[in-house]
Structure 1
Amino acid sequence: MNSSVKQTDPDYIRLKKPFQLAVKRMFDIVFSLVVLIVLIPLFLVLAALIVKEDGRPVFFKQQRSGKDDFYFKMYKFRSMKIKQTSNSKSQGRIYDWQNGVPDDFVFKIGSVDNPNVTRIGKFIRKYSLDELPQLINVLKGDMSIVGPRPEIIEITRCYNIEQKKRLIVKPGITGWAQANGRSEMNHGEKIKYDLYYVDHFSLWLDIKVFIKTVFQVVGGKGSF
């Protein structure tokens, strides 16, 4: 590895552990493809329930910041009503922090008690079933199974130099932060966990994150 490569360099992880990254990508492709095929019946059932309750579309698409701050469309099962009330505070919000995102900031799209969340939406959010379409993003190469959760562009635009380090790696369906608390933490804590992942990336850490996430999801604790 070139000793002149800094941790803030986009090639930092690629040059540091090329073999592990190759194995990680291979696993992402095989795992996402197999799981997508196996879950086709579940996808069809959830799609039917979403359409029955609140019509189309079935999927929610939103631009997120990926590796090296590359923008991509992330997929989720739609959990919010098409016609929403004015109680949705997160819509159209403008973030204009000048020195990075505050540590005490907590971003939440909407709790299960939000009147804009559908009945089926409450269920799929509780057990993170709304995240399953992101396996398509993994198969495409936009995301990985494990990595920092992809953030919305309006927030990453405000990142300071330290916070931008979390964009060195490919975002994931689940990450070290989610395995250690999921949505129940502020931005400062989330960044701390994400930077730990960047600094200590390994296949073993990915396995550890995956196992911890399974227990989190089975328990229905929090949401991604």
Structure 2
Amino acid sequence: MDLCVINCLAILYFFVNINPLNFILYVSIGWIILSTFSKFYEVYRYTREVFILNLIFRQSILFFLVIFAYFGYHADLKIKPITVFKYVSFSFLLITIFKFAMYYLLQKYRSSFGGNFRITVIIGRNKQTLALESLFNNNPEYGYTHKNTFCLKNGTELGNIFEYIVSENVDEIYCSITELSNEQLLKVIDFADNNLKVVKFLPDNKEIYSKKLKYEYYDYIPILTLRNIPLEDSINLLIKRVFDILFSSAVIIFLLSWLTPIIAILIKLESKGPVFFKQSRNGFNYKEFDCYKFRSMTPNKNAHLHQATRGDHRITKVGRFIRKTSIDELPQFFNVLFGDMSVVGPRPHMVSHTNMYAKRIDKFMVRHFVKPGITGLAQVRGFRGEIETDKDIIGRVKYDIFYIENWSLFLDIKIIVQTFVNAVRGEDKAY
């Protein structure tokens, strides 16, 4: 919406004097870069209006300098400074109106219709937690539905709290540090990780500041978040999605368009059955989706239960080749285009295996905080293919969590390049 405003007004103000394509490209790239570094779109449900005004003011000053720099460089265009000033001022007047309209419409949607809400509980009862409870209950426009505040001093067991959280489908857990021992803190963290819950802390203990945590304010109440996930940022999410769409579209158009008929003929010549193999897997937020591959095995009842093993008799001759070269994974670019997967991310497992590892492997569920990928950091570090021991899945989870907490577009590109290099060289576990 903002890009539409600044580009449409640019055409209105400068169309006669400038090359519109060059200017639109310049102003759009400039806006995106400025927005990223100024964190212009980091507005959350608990963000105050004064902070939004501060973001708008800071963005307007930076944008003003960028526009003046353009016309300073192109002095031959003879654009008057007052024209530039009017353009920037009117642009930010409209942007401010749209930004606050969206802000208040979302608040109205939450308070009047109960949409876009998060279910919360608080562990620990003291002055800080009661203030937070009051904030949740008295500000429905923030979109929090507070279920319960638990007091551990009266003998309430963590196990009972965990059962309550699961039964009530709680989204976020808030903990008072002074109310919990170190052992209890670890139990809460492990529970949250293994059950895909967000856990946050009220910082009333100095020891917690020694950790790398995200610090936020809900009104005047300080809140700490244990795990900072870059892909929760709207700008990062947009960048990754645009990259996924462009990359998957390129693969589908320039590779799969002609390769698919060839692979299909080879598969059909060797064995009866469908060309594509469809399998349910768990993706973002643990939701199931249909993952597509080129069929590399003879049709069998155990395909959804057992992984391929070395020397697996189910694998066809064509299947052995396309698995060795990872060609069988290429149809998953349609999953990427449809939004179920990303080019890079934690590899999704069969539903039966996901349920098994969620119970056996600590923090396995953390992988589902982001979309699964066709390739991932764990895969290029040697943890791909068959899981022979718990060490294999533990190593995979370790690298996946590192990727989730340290995502960048550069890291995605690096993983893609390494995946291609590994496919050309050949991998021992690609069978």
Class of the TM-score when normalised by the shorter of the 2 chains? 0.7 to 0.9
Show the counterpart of 1:24. Answer: 240
Deviation at residue 92 of structure 1 after TM alignment: 4.3
Q: 1:213 aligns with which of 415, 419, 422?
A: 419
The CA distance in 2 between the partners of 1:66 and 1:29, in whole Å, is 18
1:71 deviates by 0.5
Bigger radius of gyration, 1 or 2? 2
Cα distance change, pair 70–13 in 1 and its aligned pair in 2 (3 A): farther
> Given the alignment of the two structures, is residue 130 of structure 1 paired with residue 316 of structure 2, yes or no?
no
* Alignment-derived partner of residue 309 in structure 2: 110
> C-alpha distance in 2, partners of 1:59/1:115?
19
Percent of pairs with identical residues: 41
Q: Cα deviation per residue 1:35-89 (whole Å; 9 max; x = unaligned)?
A: 11112111110011001111220000000000110100000000001258xxx7x
| CA distance 1:169–1:92, change in 2 (3 Å) | closer
| Aligned-partner Cα distance in 1 for 2:371–2:304 | 26
Work out the CA distance in 2 between the residues paired with 1:152 and 1:8. Answer: 26
SS across alignment from 1:145: strand
Select 1:47's aligned residue among 253, 264, 275.
264
Alpha-carbon contact 2:326-2:423 (below 8 Å) kept:
yes
The answer to whether structure 1 residue 149 and structure 2 residue 347 are counterparts is yes
- 1:194-221 deviations in Å (ceiling 9; x for gaps): 1111111111111111111111111121
Q: Deviations over 1:106-139 (max 9, x none)?
A: xx4233x222110100000000000000000000
Q: Decide which of 376, 382, 385 is 1:183's aligned counterpart.
A: 385
1:7-86 equivalences under 5 Å are 12-15=229-232, 17-39=233-255, 40-82=257-299
Higher relative contact order (CA 8 A, sep 6+): 1
Structure 1 residues 114 and 204: CA distance shift in structure 2, 3 A: same
CA offset digits 1:138-189 (Å, max 9, x no partner):
0000000000001111122241561111110110000000111133771111
Provide structure 2 residue ranges, at least 5 long, that are not aligned to the other structure: 1-41, 43-214, 217-222
Q: Is the 8 A contact 2:304 2:350 kept in 1?
A: no
Rate the CA distance shift 1:91–1:174 in 2: closer, same or farther, 3 A: closer
Alignment root-mean-square deviation, CA? 2.3
Asked if 2 retains the 8 angstrom alpha-carbon contact of 1:64 and 1:151, the reply is: yes
| Structure-2-length-normalised TM-score | 0.44
Unmatched tracts of structure 1, length 5 or more: 94-107
Which structure: greater helix fraction?
Answer: 2
1:8/1:168 contact within 8 Å kept: no
State how far apart, in whole Å, the 1-side matches of 2:291 and 2:304 are: 17
Matching residue's letter, 2:375: T
SS of residue matched to 1:151: coil
Q: Tell me the secondary structure at the aligned position of residue 122 of structure 1.
A: helix
